Structure 1
Amino acid sequence: MTIQFLQQADGFFWSLLIAAILTLFWIISAIREEHKLLILISIRICVFAILLFLLLQPKLSWIDHYEFPLRWNIYADRSVSMGYHQSLSSDSYIESVNSFFSEAEIKDSETQNYYFDHKIYKPDETTVVLSGEATDLGKVIDHIDETESALNGAIIITDGQITKGEQKQSKLKHLSIPIFTVGVGDTIPLVDVAIQLIEAPTVVIKGEEMDVNVTLASHGRINDRVNILLYRGKKLIGSKNVQLHGDGSLTNARFKVTPQLLGENDYFIKTSVLADEININNNSQRFLVTVLKDRYKVALITGSPNFNTGPLKKIIKEIPRVELDHFVQQGEKFIPSINEFWSNSHELIVFENFPLSPISKRWKQILAKKIVSQSSSLFMFAGPNTNKKSIESLYPFFHVQSSQDTFDDSKHKQWIWSSESGIFHQISSEMITANVEADLFPPLYPKIMIDPEDNISGLAYYENSTIPLLVSGEVDGLRSGVWTSSDFSTLYYKMTESDHHNISISLLHNLFSWLLRTSGENELYFRINKDIYQQGEEIHIVGSPYGQIGKDLSSITGYISLKSKNNSLATYELLFNPMNEQWETKFLAGKPGLYNYEIILQDKNNQSIQSGSFIIDESQIELNQVSLNKTILQSISSLTNGKYIPWESRAELLNNIYTNHKQEMLIKSARLTENITAIIILILILSIEWYIRRLIGLT
């Protein structure tokens, strides 16, 4: 035992000590003849000495020796592959493992037994069924590392096939206890061919060639050729014959496909089946590719050519994948014939300086039928030759009506963009910044005054008024818009001569793209890499932001939510990768069942949702590698001074299991100023003094 003083003896301590000694001599001299009082003086001296001693804050330290029993941890693999080894049945394996557990506990009662797959379980935590969807030896190494100080050694019973996680080589080298491994199964793997990966775009343009890259993984002793077949629906569109080499090798095949059918194209990849192949569920896989139109037809109907006609035609023709049909009215006829307009399909119809006179009821009926049957969008530019009565005949198609508000004069008016409309952000959010520059836009002449109805929004207004310059919206799935000024050309040429020459062009490009539905909230195309998964298999979600080049897609947040009938809701975040302009996420397939999913992308103004479903089958990924990986198990034992034992010789390990104890020294300490013992001693001494005083008759 050692004693240490935490407080150094300072001047105050020595002064107090000297004063106490002098006082003591004086008292002894004064009561030298009173022998009964000498005992009381001695007690007071003890109390004072203890108080002075405590004033230095003494700390006592001593060493305690103790020992505790060390134990063995035994880990047995419960993954699916353990039940498919030809030399051992599932029931026989489970029975043998439980017997080994019992015999080990007899040898050392402190032994703790565990099962593992991609998690660690105690035998009472899970039913002993070989149903684990993946094998992660890294979890076992971590568990051994965490409990190393209490272990005598560890035993791992497994086939060594790692289907998840990584080996922890660095941890193995630093472990001070031996790890014995028991290898289960044969080193010759069972034959299996699996479609490892399909790389294909999620969205393409009709007529454009796309690459479909297929990667096959082959296991076992294989030196055969297989056919890789590519179907669209039930039609075979491609075939490749490739050589397989087995032993986990990868083989690639590339198809070049030119989609011609619009919409979702269902493709199917299939490989031929080899003899003795144990798992054929992974020999086929389907994937979807969305095919967009290669051309969008726009009809421009001009009542009378004017200064606006040229800029409008030029801007429309510059829009990618747009084909323009221009119809010019001459008297009662059109050039080319208006019959071509009625007989052909158009995604967008633009009325410019039209009509010059009210259109007939028959004309309206035919136009309405065309719009509904072809889901055509509409846009109208007010022109210098139209009048209020003629143009009002088209108002019902645009869901607007004549406004009661007017201007007192016929002068040109300054105008500004609105920042409150949700549609505005879908069309061109960069226009907002233009408002900060005074007089950037030229004043325009308000030709028609309208009030928008429900679901039609004002995108730009004349200053100090509620009269809109530009409105747009969607009603019953049909989109439309109106430009109320008759001098769009003024805006076009004024902007062309300024540092902001792209604004008028960008306005119409974005506006018409929205009307044609070639950009905006519906252009997010996501695909999962399969529709049927095996337990433990990686699910990869990828999305292509087609048609949104130039927008800050990284500001959009996204996630995928999964829900099945028998499982709770699960959510995984989608991350935007700016390198390939895709949203991505990966996670492992869980319990079997049918899963419905929702992919949600949102910003502060909009939310987009894509729904779908996929199936998770009973775990088969473990069956891709049904063999004994002896090399990994020997490496684990070698790095920890253990030993590799084949399954048939497992009984030998029982001889290594024995009871052992570990001795450790523990340094203990106590500060007397914080210890109740010192207080008890002081109280005891003072109690003795009080008793003696009463005994000799003192108060």
Structure 2
Amino acid sequence: MSGSTLIYIILAGITALLLALFQYIYKSKKRKLNPIFSFLRFITIFSVLLLLINPKFEKLTLYNEKPNLVVVVDDSKSIIHLDQDEKTNELLQSLSNNQDLSNKFNLDFYTFGSEFKKLDSLSFNQTQTNYTSVFSSLQQIYKESSSPIILITDGNQTFGRDFEFSAKQYKQPVFSVILGDTITYSDLKIQQLNVNKYAYLKNKFPVEVIAVYNGNTPVSSQLTIKRNNATVYSTNLQFSKINNSHTLNITLPSDKVGINSYTVSLSPLATEKNTVNNSKPFALEVIDQKTNVAIVTSISHPDIGTLKKSIESNEQRSAYVMSPLEYINDKDNYQMVVLYQPNSVFKPVFESLDSDGKNRFIIGGINTDWNFLNSIQDVFKQSITNQEESFQAIYNQNFATFLKGDLNFDNLPPLESEFGSVAFNIPAETLLFKSINNNLVNEALLATYENVGQRGVVLFGEGIWRWRSQSFLDTNSFNQFDDFIGKIVQYVASNKRRNRLTVNYESFYNGSDNIKITAQFFNKNYEFDAAATLEIVVKNLETNNVTTIPFVLQQNSYQVNLNNFPPNDYNFTVRANNGEVTLSGHTKILDYNVEEQFLNANTIKLQRIAQNSSGKSYFIANTSEIVNDLITDSRFATIQKSNKNVVPLIDFKILLVLIILSLTIEWFLRKYNGLI
């Protein structure tokens, strides 16, 4: 309470006393009850004045805060594969029932596999192991408290950032419980297999195989690659403790159109414990056509190289950069044309495209001759201001021509182009709107259209090379941007009639992949229908079992997950609104479980993260010390904390009660004595 407030309170007390004395002592007749009336009136006036002054008081609350003990359990399939599931459940039960631990710590339990979440139950059915979200999530949850972690895992990671580096985000001691034994077994395995997803008919495709041996004595094994039980490649390999790996670069013929399934395998050793990792399946789709894309330009710009790399990220497509004249001389070899910043020299190109009925992707920018572009086509008109402007992209949630993919437009840098309005003379669908200084402009930055049997896409801005760079900074991969450009190319390169039902899926999936199929359904006006009922009917071609699963609406697409389906070939039919529109397809799930490729726990790495974090590591067979170590560790002590709150007097309801009570007593006494 400040000094000035104290002075106000003293003045309030004096004022209240003077008023009470003036009313009942000085101005009133002498009565025995006047001192009582004066006191009651003093209480009333003084309380009201205190409420007006409203002094503030400090309220100090003391409380004890126990440290947190975070128990994180690996729920992936590799735990069962290493025969550690029962021991894990026993340890978890022991920790949760230990009264000494509960008295010292606040116990929190989590699991992780493909995702990190609160522990409900352990099933050891996760098909992937990702440590990245574990440590980043825990750092956010417990960054303001003392929270050591017990990490119960085998240390075998299948995707995500290396968890030894991810663990450094968590600024707390890590106590590793290693699920596995220390015995080293002789083991052969296919460490890595690199192969493209697509190949072309009557061509050859490369396969890179890395075979690894873990053991001390020299051994030999035969590596074979089979397609439908027929051997297409075979070689003998010699391994030793020193020469413990071989990298083979093999080329195989692509002579059969469609999905071709292969298995690469190493013949097992007589004493080998884990033979699951001796083989690895793979598949590729052989196609008999390729899309050639012509990038026609008369200038040099970073966008051109970006377009070429993005287009060619799909093995089914090739991109060629050329001048307008070069395109005219070789136009029959290209199924799609990108017109980058057209000017007057593009006139024969536009005339050729119109006469041949070919689709086009037009990109405009600062170097575009907009007068020429406005005169050579009648699809759209750009106002000419001779002023430059930067436009941010805003995604149109109602766009339904094709799925945009996972590219996040909110973080992308602006594009540069001519300042001025854009008007389409024919119906067009806007994929991206313009935004200037965070103000949405109801004009297209990127739009699609169909005109007299021709398809087109127009981008009113240059600088997409920055988009690809930003996409890499956000995701450590170019895939999201390349996928977005690929969808534009697929739309422009195709002359197929637009269907009301579109389904996106892969020709084949690895058994450990996230097997997701997406679909879009449009009404008769080709507007996305968010109220439709979609379902997929999946037939296992080996067992003839038929399963029907409903789609779930996610933003502007319908999705279904087939993760629990066993490896096999499947035919499927997607039905919309009880068969109003249907679409069929075929996919294959390969028999490959990445969680079964491990023979031992990753002991060294788990011991290292414990040591680097000032924690300790234990093997699952020797965890009797872990409880005692945690309880006796002086770093994890209960801390007494205080919480100081500044509370205004007006929050104290007792003062209001006192005012009401004093006024009531005064009124009652005056009434009883006939003074009212």
Normalised to the residue count of structure 1, the TM-score between the two structures is 0.51
Report if aligned partners of 1:158, 1:182 keep a CA contact under 8 Å in 2: yes
Report if aligned partners of 1:65, 1:665 keep a CA contact under 8 Å in 2: yes
| Residue 214 of structure 2: aligned partner | 220
Are 1:157 and 2:130 counterparts?
Answer: no
CA distance in 1, matches of 2:66, 2:452: 83
Query: Where do 5+ consecutive residues of structure 2 fail to align?
Result: 292-327, 336-350, 363-372, 380-450, 455-492, 518-534, 539-546, 575-580
**Displacement, 1:279?**
0.5
| Residue 200 of structure 1: aligned partner | 196
- Relative to structure 1, the CA distance from residue 142 to residue 263 in structure 2 (aligned partners, 3 Å threshold; closer, same or farther) is closer
Instruction: Describe how 1:240-251 pairs up with structure 2 within 5 A.
Output: none
| Residue 624 of structure 1: aligned partner | 597
Deviations 1:484-537 (A, max 9, x none): xxxxxxxxxxxxxxxxxxxxxxxxxxxxxxxxxx96449999995855x333x4
Deviations 1:237-259 (A, max 9, x none): 65566677899998644344665
CA distance in 1, matches of 2:562, 2:88: 26
Specify which of 266, 289, 295 is matched with residue 272 of structure 1: 266
Instruction: Describe how 1:321-332 pairs up with structure 2 within 5 A.
Output: none
- Relative to structure 1, the CA distance from residue 100 to residue 611 in structure 2 (aligned partners, 3 Å threshold; closer, same or farther) is same
SS of residue in 2 equivalent to 1:637: helix
Instruction: Describe how 1:90-101 pairs up with structure 2 within 5 A.
Output: 90=84, 93-94=87-88, 96-97=90-91, 100-101=94-95
**Displacement, 1:130?**
4.0
Specify which of 122, 126, 130 is matched with residue 132 of structure 1: 126
Report if aligned partners of 1:225, 1:241 keep a CA contact under 8 Å in 2: yes
**Displacement, 1:666?**
2.0
Report if aligned partners of 1:138, 1:166 keep a CA contact under 8 Å in 2: yes
| Residue 43 of structure 1: aligned partner | 40
CA distance in 2, matches of 1:574, 1:625: 40
Report if aligned partners of 1:218, 1:245 keep a CA contact under 8 Å in 2: no
Instruction: Describe how 1:53-132 pairs up with structure 2 within 5 A.
Output: 53-67=50-64, 70=67, 72-85=69-82, 89-90=83-84, 93-94=87-88, 96-97=90-91, 100-101=94-95, 104-105=98-99, 108=102, 111=107, 116-119=112-115, 125-126=120-121, 128-132=122-126
Are 1:611 and 2:585 counterparts?
Answer: yes
SS of residue in 2 equivalent to 1:681: helix
Deviations 1:448-491 (A, max 9, x none): xxxxxxxxxxxxxxxxxxxxxx9999xxxxxxxxxxxxxxxxxx
| Residue 678 of structure 1: aligned partner | 655
- Relative to structure 1, the CA distance from residue 286 to residue 248 in structure 2 (aligned partners, 3 Å threshold; closer, same or farther) is farther
Deviations 1:121-176 (A, max 9, x none): 777x33x5543323334455456542577776442332222224346668855767
Report if aligned partners of 1:230, 1:238 keep a CA contact under 8 Å in 2: yes
- Relative to structure 1, the CA distance from residue 62 to residue 235 in structure 2 (aligned partners, 3 Å threshold; closer, same or farther) is closer
- Relative to structure 1, the CA distance from residue 572 to residue 425 in structure 2 (aligned partners, 3 Å threshold; closer, same or farther) is farther
Specify which of 625, 629, 633 is matched with residue 652 of structure 1: 625
- Relative to structure 1, the CA distance from residue 664 to residue 202 in structure 2 (aligned partners, 3 Å threshold; closer, same or farther) is same
Deviations 1:346-371 (A, max 9, x none): xxxxxxxxxxxxxxxxxxxxxxxxxx
Are 1:637 and 2:610 counterparts?
Answer: yes
**Displacement, 1:51?**
1.7
CA distance in 2, matches of 1:527, 1:228: 32
CA distance in 2, matches of 1:170, 1:687: 72
CA distance in 2, matches of 1:670, 1:436: 71
| Residue 319 of structure 1: aligned partner | 332
SS of residue in 2 equivalent to 1:319: helix
CA distance in 1, matches of 2:615, 2:42: 67
CA distance in 2, matches of 1:107, 1:436: 77
Instruction: Describe how 1:10-21 pairs up with structure 2 within 5 A.
Output: none
**Displacement, 1:214?**
2.2
**Displacement, 1:20?**
6.9
CA distance in 1, matches of 2:130, 2:330: 59
Are 1:693 and 2:667 counterparts?
Answer: no
* AA matched with 1:160: G
Instruction: Describe how 1:225-304 pairs up with structure 2 within 5 A.
Output: 229=224, 252-256=247-251, 261=255, 263-264=257-258, 266=260, 268=262, 270-275=264-269, 276=272, 277-279=274-276, 282-292=279-289
- Relative to structure 1, the CA distance from residue 595 to residue 74 in structure 2 (aligned partners, 3 Å threshold; closer, same or farther) is farther
**Displacement, 1:686?**
1.0
**Displacement, 1:80?**
2.6
Deviations 1:189-227 (A, max 9, x none): 662423734433625365xx5442324363634876766
CA distance in 2, matches of 1:528, 1:162: 25
CA distance in 1, matches of 2:595, 2:224: 25
CA distance in 2, matches of 1:681, 1:202: 86
Deviations 1:247-300 (A, max 9, x none): 9998644344665x5743736352332312521574332322112499xxxxxx
| Residue 442 of structure 1: aligned partner | none
Instruction: Describe how 1:410-489 pairs up with structure 2 within 5 A.
Output: 434-436=376-378
| Residue 466 of structure 1: aligned partner | none
- Give the length in aligned residue pairs: 457
- Relative to structure 1, the CA distance from residue 170 to residue 33 in structure 2 (aligned partners, 3 Å threshold; closer, same or farther) is farther
Percent of pairs with identical residues: 17
CA distance in 1, matches of 2:594, 2:506: 18
* AA matched with 1:157: I
* AA matched with 1:613: T
Report if aligned partners of 2:259, 2:507 keep a CA contact under 8 Å in 1: no
| Residue 642 of structure 2: aligned partner | 665
CA distance in 2, matches of 1:246, 1:5: 85
* AA matched with 1:163: T
- Relative to structure 1, the CA distance from residue 3 to residue 688 in structure 2 (aligned partners, 3 Å threshold; closer, same or farther) is farther
Normalised to the residue count of structure 2, the TM-score between the two structures is 0.52
SS of residue in 1 equivalent to 2:645: strand
CA distance in 2, matches of 1:7, 1:651: 62
CA distance in 1, matches of 2:98, 2:497: 63
Report if aligned partners of 1:203, 1:292 keep a CA contact under 8 Å in 2: no
Report if aligned partners of 1:264, 1:291 keep a CA contact under 8 Å in 2: no
**Displacement, 1:682?**
0.8
Report if aligned partners of 1:224, 1:245 keep a CA contact under 8 Å in 2: yes
* AA matched with 2:78: S
- Relative to structure 1, the CA distance from residue 235 to residue 251 in structure 2 (aligned partners, 3 Å threshold; closer, same or farther) is same
SS of residue in 2 equivalent to 1:678: helix
CA distance in 1, matches of 2:62, 2:242: 56
CA distance in 2, matches of 1:680, 1:247: 89
- Relative to structure 1, the CA distance from residue 624 to residue 57 in structure 2 (aligned partners, 3 Å threshold; closer, same or farther) is same
Deviations 1:564-600 (A, max 9, x none): 537664799999xxxxxxxxx9x99556465858899
Instruction: Describe how 1:299-378 pairs up with structure 2 within 5 A.
Output: 319-320=332-333
Deviations 1:175-194 (A, max 9, x none): 67543222232343662423
CA distance in 2, matches of 1:693, 1:471: 98
* AA matched with 1:636: I
SS of residue in 2 equivalent to 1:163: coil
* AA matched with 1:155: I
CA distance in 1, matches of 2:569, 2:214: 32
Report if aligned partners of 2:76, 2:124 keep a CA contact under 8 Å in 1: yes
